[in-house]
Structure 1
Amino acid sequence: MKLNRKIIRLFLVLFIVPMLAVAQVNFNKPPDDDLGNVEDEFQECFFEALKQKGIENYDRAIDALQKCLNLNSKFPVIYFELGKNYNKLKNFGAAEDNLKKAISMQPDNEWFLDELYDVYYQQDDINNAIKTIKQLVKFHPDYKEDLAALYVREEKYKQALQLLDELDSEIGISESRDAMRNDVYSITGNADDRIENLEQRIANNPNNEDNHLKLIYRYSQTGDRKNAFKAAKNLLKVKPDSKFVHLALYKFHLQDGKVNAAIRSVKIALTSPEINADAKAKVLKDFVNFVAKNPKHEAELINIMVLVDENKDAQTHSDLGQYYLKAGDKVKALSNFKEALKQDPSDFKLIKDVLLLQLDIKDYIAVINDSESALELYPAQPILYLVNGVANNNLEHYKKAIDNLEMGLDFLIDNPNMEADFYSQLSIAYKALNNIIKSETFAKKAQAIKAQQ
């Protein structure tokens, strides 16, 4: 908010105020003794000050302005410019003194007051900032929002909310003020006021879908499921074609055991172009979890999968992989993990899930290829060396198994279970190569660790 005023002020001050100040000196007046020379010198010093300020030579700008004061101290803009330059140099005392002098000469000058407000704001002098901005409120309603923000900092929440209400009434609702209002409600913990405000907005404008959705969310957040569901149904009455309401409705229907109604809402949410991918992923995850607990509805899940087959993101595939894994369908679980990995190839958890499942279904060649690729990304992850060693052992590539297992042990830190697995695999490899002594040594190490567990 302050940024926009700063831009406006920059143009006005740089072009209008200096011109106005200089215009008060009659440069066309015929010389009267040495008065013409004085006016010429004043003009030169003033524009020199503006030039030096423009290239951020604030000290030189101040020197030029002091010369202006020595020539003529009647122009408030000189004190204003001094205040601005001192403010830039963080010399707040001098900035305040000069700006107050300018304001005493022109008490209703918005730009003088705004600069003084900035001086107080930078020093975190909230009391003086509030006093100054109260003078500014009459110039522009945006200052009310700044004043509300200051009230929040001073924990004067009632005054802040009153100003926000005034602004909403005068110029309409804005995201920035809503964010400030929600901050106040969160700080005070006053959920009732927050809900009352939303209900009033809905009463004033029943067709505003966003307010209905916020009310549903707020009721849900406070655990008032009954009123949240009621608010969702009210939105559906007002706007029967609403897609976003189904982001709430499917949950209520699932909780009430109305599976068919829930599935209708899920399908609407998942196929709606207005709803973003993250929200759709959350809907799908919830339904996957529901089906995991109620497997008789798996056919409905499969039908829904068809609807979103081309739009599933990595998280959705990962959630489906976990669902199928719990359901005991390792092939479908692996398929979904692989699809997730295509979209997010550096996700280490997905890499590990894929490799372990490939081991489980005895796809050893895939394990070797994929673990070697993964080691290029994560060369210090011991699990990758372990699964590679297990796969090579099963393919009777014992020397390769030993190389990878011994290398992986170098990266292993404080993981006794994995350490025992490394030793067991090394024992298998050395035994296959008829190195019985080493095989027994590693077997004993593995048994010793297991005995301590």
Structure 2
Amino acid sequence: MIKKWPFIFTFSVLLSNSVAVLAQTEPEEIKVEGDKFQDFFYESLFQKSIENYDKSLASLEQCLKLNPNEATVYFEFGKNYFALKDYKNAYDSYERAAQMDPNNKWFWVGMYDVCYATKDFNQAIIIVNKIIPFDPEYKEDLVSLYMATKQYDKALEGINELNEKTGKTDRREMYKMEILSEGKYQNAEITNLIDQINKNPKEESNYIALIFLYSKNNEEAKALEISQKLEKEIPESVWAQVSLFKNYLEKNDGPNAVKAMNIVLASSKIDSKIKHRIFNEFLLFANVNPQFTPDLDNAIGYFKTDTTVNVAKEIGKFYHNKKQWANAIKYYELSEKNDSEVDIEANLLWLQANTELKQFESVAKKAMTLIESFPAEPQFYYYAGMANNQLKQFKKAKEILEMGFDYVVENVNLEINFNIQLGEAFHGLGDATKAAFYFSKANQLIKEKK
């Protein structure tokens, strides 16, 4: 049986069993002359089956006395010793059987079992190369052995051979990713991928792998060339658009960039990380080329089912950081429409952006609504109080601020702001004493911060 390889590499690969279609039958029975030999031999098989390995070995000793040249007896010795974890005697027994009959695959497999159990992978490579002429499926094991012994050049050669003959597997692709993480093997893989593309121009995965390698090596011109070739050979390939999108942006070709972006965002084949990267790149482009803002807005729709990132809010934060308050507000409001739950952060950012634009009536109204939903969130009280102060609703501002002050905990900046706004409220109400008290308290907190 072909091995299950539990090696832990960079990608923590746990391999699965590959069951070979065996050309030979494992030797459990022999036909020999002599009832005594047969009796001892079958007795050894019986004792082995009930795990009486010592008795099984004793019966095999009797078999050797009667016929010392029977390879299958040594094979059975090997199996018993192996079960007892006496690996040296097991290997020696299997080896003796193989010397007597080198054309029996199972004798070599026994030696391989021992090498595998003892993690003697270099010796296992020698043995597996003896098995492969009998059973080519052991080439899978050979690749795993080359990985275990870090013979990556041979492993890569074996992977490419198997991929071409039997198709790709997840296991081999993980191995290949590990190998190619070391740059010195990438040229060989590039050559292989070009060869595979020439042999089979309709196999999309080879183009994708080659584009990835060129991009990783900052060979953008070559990556673009392969992307264009992929688009020509497989027009429906969405992966070609991933690479072409970047080229369109570099050429300031907005219409084609939009087209490529929409194809990628609509595809279920493309990972969400790639989609977010493309969207972010287009966001930067649209910021410089505002005529494409409507296309940006349309693209947000592709992320409605994405629970990992609120795209509209992130765009709002992008504009917020650039102090483009109107744009920020627009996307915070779009975020609110798309989100089934109230997002405290998005609302606080909305309140700040509107404050910067002196939209105090909107701030006061929104903050009071949010207080009803989040009565223990002090920042909403602050914005409501501040906005009412600006609207000269000083009594209302004072009441709101006093109510919210109780919820300020371990937030010095917010405490300073509350004191300032309370000072403003009392000043507006004509209470100079209390106004001075709160302004003084704010100043004291500011000094303590320094």
Which TM-score tier does this pair reach, normalised by the shorter chain?
0.7 to 0.9
What is residue 447 of structure 1 aligned with on the other side?
446
The code of the aligned residue for 1:419 comes to: V
Partner of 2:57: 66
Q: Indicate how the Cα distance of structure 1 residues 107 and 318 shifts in structure 2: closer, same or farther if over 3 A, else same.
A: farther
What residue identity is the alignment partner of 1:195? I
Shift of 1:68: 3.5
TM-score w.r.t. the length of structure 1 is: 0.72
Please give the alpha-carbon distance, in whole angstroms, between the structure 2 residues aligned to 1:339 and 1:50: 70
Q: How does 1:127-166 map to 2 (within 5 A)?
A: 127-166=122-161
Structure 1's unaligned 5+ residue stretches are 53-60, 373-383, 410-417
Aligned in 2, Cα 1:172/1:401: closer, same or farther, shift over 3 Å?
closer
Q: What is the 5 A alignment of 1:342-421? A: 342=340, 351-358=344-351, 361=354, 362=363, 363-368=366-371, 386-387=378-379, 390=382, 396-398=399-401, 400-405=403-408, 408-409=409-410, 418-421=411-414
Question: Which has the larger displacement, 68-77 or 433-442?
Answer: 433-442
Alignment partner of 2:231 out of 212, 221, 236: 236
For residues 260 and 242 of structure 1, the distance between their equivalents in structure 2, rounded to whole angstroms, comes to 19
Secondary structure (helix, strand or coil) at the match of 1:207 reads coil
* Structure 2 unaligned residues grouped into runs of 5+: 5-14, 65-69, 355-362, 387-396
- Aligned to 2:229, the other structure's residue is in SS state helix
- CA separation of 1:165/1:246 partners in 2, compared to 1, >3 Å: closer, same or farther? closer
Q: 1:104-148 deviations in whole A, cap 9, x for unaligned?
A: 454444344334324323443232122222212223333223323
* One-letter amino acid of the structure 2 residue matched with residue 135 of structure 1: K
CA distance in structure 2 between the partners assigned to 1:273 and 1:175 by the alignment:
20
The answer for the alignment partner of 2:390 in structure 1 is none
Aligned match of 1:206 in 186, 201, 222? 201
Measure how far apart 1:204 and its partner are.
0.7
Map 1:4-403 onto structure 2 (within 5 A).
8=19, 17=26, 20-22=27-29, 24=31, 35=36, 39=39, 43=42, 46-52=45-51, 61-73=52-64, 75-87=73-85, 92-305=87-300, 308=302, 311=305, 314-315=308-309, 316-325=311-320, 326=322, 327-328=324-325, 329-338=327-336, 342=340, 351-358=344-351, 361=354, 362=363, 363-368=366-371, 386-387=378-379, 390=382, 396-398=399-401, 400-403=403-406
Q: Across the two proteins, how many residue pairs are aligned to each other? A: 400
Amino acid at match of 2:406: D
Structure number with greater CO (CA < 8 Å, separation at least 6) is 2
Alpha-carbon shift at residue 364 of structure 1 (Å): 1.9
2: CA distance, partners of 1:337 / 1:238: 40
Q: C-alpha offsets along residues 20-72 of structure 1, whole Å, 9 cap, x if unaligned?
A: 5356489xx9xx7xx59x92x764663353244xxxxxxxx433433433553
The CA deviation string for residues 221-244 of structure 1, in whole angstroms up to 9 with x for no partner, is 221222222222222222233332
* Deviation of 1:336 (Å): 4.4
For residue 348 of structure 2, give the secondary structure of its aligned residue in structure 1. Answer: helix
2:313 and 2:125 map into 1 onto residues whose CA distance is: 53
CA distance in 2, matches of 1:162, 1:314: 40
CA RMSD of aligned residues (A): 4.1
What percent of counterpart residues are identical?
22
Residue 402 of structure 1 aligns with an amino acid whose one-letter code is F
- The structure in which a higher percent of residues are helix is 1
Kept in 1: contact 2:385–2:401 (CA 8 A): yes
User: TM-score, structure 2 length as denominator?
Assistant: 0.72
